[in-house]
Structure 1
Amino acid sequence: MTAETTTTRLTARGAVTRERIVAAAADLMYVRGVGQTTLDDVLEASGVSKSQLYRHFANKDEVVRAVIERMGQHVIQREQNNLGRVSTMAGLRRWRDVLVQNNALRHGAYGCALGSFASEVADHDDVAREMLSALFAEWRDLLEAAVRRLQENGSLRSDAPVDELAIGLLAALQGGYLLAQTARDVAPMATSIDMALTHIESYSPS
């Protein structure tokens, strides 16, 4: 066995271990919250040793950042899939329906992963805050692109403030997630998004 083969095998094994740690931490932090999840909890859930964990992460902050990266990739990929071809108000309403229906399966209990993390870590971890800010900007850009396609195909007037409408829609979505989480009911989330969509629709040509 060559040194190169050994190194490759160890690297692959390390990647599997790291993924196991991050996956376990993501599940725990999403349900319990960042503050209520300890590294000991992550160790128990992942089944790795303390030395293995510290081989990949120096502290809890680094674990949290890895979880944000993982969750962020999932959310942005989902939104790219759901928003990528939206070019009508009907398409935006179908996007809304998917989000509300998916959250209804959890009775609104856990809210938006990115929003929940932002409320917990933004004040004490600048690196995590900047990661989350970039992810929200990417999400806003996807919404803005969808709204702009409505404008380009004539569904919205040329004076529609596309960037502001996208920010408002994202804010309504995040606020809706929070209300649903506290009420354990998706109805406030549905209402919040519907209000934003109605505002967007008010820019339809007469």
Structure 2
Amino acid sequence: MSEVAKQVRGEALRDKLVGIAAELFYANGVRAVGVDEVVRRAGVAKASLYRWFPSKDDLVLAVLQRRDGDFWAKWDSTAAQHPDPREQLDAQLAWIQDLAMRTDYRGCAFVNTAAEFDGDESQHIRNRCLDHEEELRRRLRALTGELGGPHSDRLADRLHISIVGALATGGLYRVNGPAAELRALAADLLSAHLPADGRAARDVGGHPR
């Protein structure tokens, strides 16, 4: 077998291991799944896994990297179809709402994983989860900035917490949960921030909505 063929075969095995681990971690929790179960499902020797992932943490990080890439690939494809920022925001919220309402949805994988790794020795995994949330926050702020109006960052953060809440409750309710109100809630926030006359509305406390 040529070196190129070996590399292709090795990368295919790596992808397979990451895919199996992603499925098992999401269904059962990261801590509850050992590498023995991953290699058993993959039908390979443990040495094959350790060749790519010297530790379980390395495998966890690879799973998070894949989920992150999949999430932003969907976001980017949606953005390409909706250049108008307000239409794009609604389109992004639409697929996120649909995701949260799926019967097989078990909550945000990044939040779930971060909750399992709360010690100082696991900070690198928590940081990877935080990176995902920070990227979501950055992208929302970019979108609300395009919408105009004052305090667009505050609007973005309110949309952000609405998304996080929808994903969290989606994992609990599965069906007939409050995640179904995500787009409606976002519309209310946008209407308050960008009313018809173009002036920023204000909360009772005097802060722009």
TM-score range, shorter chain: 0.7 to 0.9
The alpha-carbon deviation at position 118 of structure 1 amounts to 2.4
Deviates more, 1:20-29 or 1:163-172: 163-172
Match of 2:137 in 1: 140
**SS state of the match for residue 2, structure 2?**
helix
- 1:87–1:147 distance in 2 versus 1, CA, 3 Å: farther
The alpha-carbon deviation at position 173 of structure 1 amounts to 0.8
Contact 2:17 2:49 in 1 (8 A): yes
Q: TM-score, normalised by structure 2?
A: 0.81
Counterparts of 2:15 and 2:58, CA distance in 1: 13
Identity of paired residues, percent? Answer: 25
- Of 13, 37, 45, the residue aligned with 1:17 is 13
Runs ≥4 residues deviating over 6 A? none
Summarize the alignment of residues 55-204 of structure 1 with structure 2, pairs less than 5 Å apart.
55-83=51-79, 85=82, 87-104=84-101, 106-107=102-103, 109-123=105-119, 124-151=121-148, 157=149, 159=150, 161-185=151-175, 187-192=177-182, 194-204=184-194
Structure 1 unaligned spans of 5+: 152-156
Give the root-mean-square deviation of aligned CA atoms: 2.2
The alpha-carbon deviation at position 193 of structure 1 amounts to 5.1
| Count of aligned residue pairs for this structure pair | 194
The alpha-carbon deviation at position 186 of structure 1 amounts to 5.3
Counterparts of 2:193 and 2:115, CA distance in 1: 33
Using CA pairs below 8 Å that are at least 6 residues apart, which structure has the higher relative contact order?
Answer: 1
- 1:90–1:57 distance in 2 versus 1, CA, 3 Å: closer
Match of 1:41 in 2: 37
Q: TM-score, normalised by structure 1?
A: 0.82
The alpha-carbon deviation at position 201 of structure 1 amounts to 2.2
Contact 2:170 2:178 in 1 (8 A): yes
